[in-house]
Amino acid sequence: MKREPPQPPSDGGEHPAVRQQDEVSSAAGDAPPKSPLWVFGYGSLVWRPDFEFTSRKVGYIRGYSRRFWQGDTFHRGSEKMPGRVVTLLEDYDGCTWGVAYELRGDQVAASLKYLNMREAVLGGYDTKLVKFHPQDKEAGEPVLALVYIATSQNPSYLGPASEEDIAAQIIVSSGRSGHNIEYLLRLADFMRYCCPQVEDEHLFSIEEALISILPCLYHGEESLVEE
């Protein structure tokens, strides 16, 4: 039996992200990064961090919902055919699951240098700090974690579309890191196997739409070959 993901407590209607502003505001800043540092991933970082870390924890952040609203012209798409990857949308009732990585010592500077290129320069993402809640309550208290978010102000932002349209765009897109289909299916697999109690309607609806389209494309190609 599936249960709903944890919801933000009712405390006067203030957005969870707003409540954190005094201590987190915008992330990185000019100050040298402190150790340990936690980095929260909710897209490809959940299965392919590609940087050294000390530990990892599955968990969630509140006040945001994951959406396939960011365009990608490098990792999962091209200038002619941008792919669709996830970003976070501020949402009072939202709850996004992913993985937080703990960085210590020399890992901090090296990982941030890599992530800045991968997510900010090539991906169009900005940084914020959010409160991360571990899935395993015995894994410790919530911690502040750095997260990369693409806002509507960045030039690659695509915005909302129907699940069917998003799936159709994903099917025809690929980039330096692989096909956009792989990105969607790996993220869906992560949620299914690591967070089986959570129903990510947006993600699973796009996966369902993609699976329903693929046989049509396959049979269409077969017809062309026969002709």
Residues carrying an active site annotation? 119
**CB count, 10 Å around CB of 213?**
15
Cβ atoms of 132 and 66 closer than 8 Å: no
Question: Dmax over Cα atoms in the chain, in whole Å?
Answer: 65
Q: Report the C-alpha gap between 134 and 99 in whole angstroms.
A: 9
Question: Token pair for residue 145?
Answer: 């974690």
The one-character DSSP state at 26 is B
Q: Report the C-alpha gap between 7 and 2 in whole angstroms.
A: 15
Q: Report the C-alpha gap between 34 and 19 in whole angstroms.
A: 22
Q: Which among 187, 211, 198 is positioned nearest to 86, based on CA atoms?
A: 187
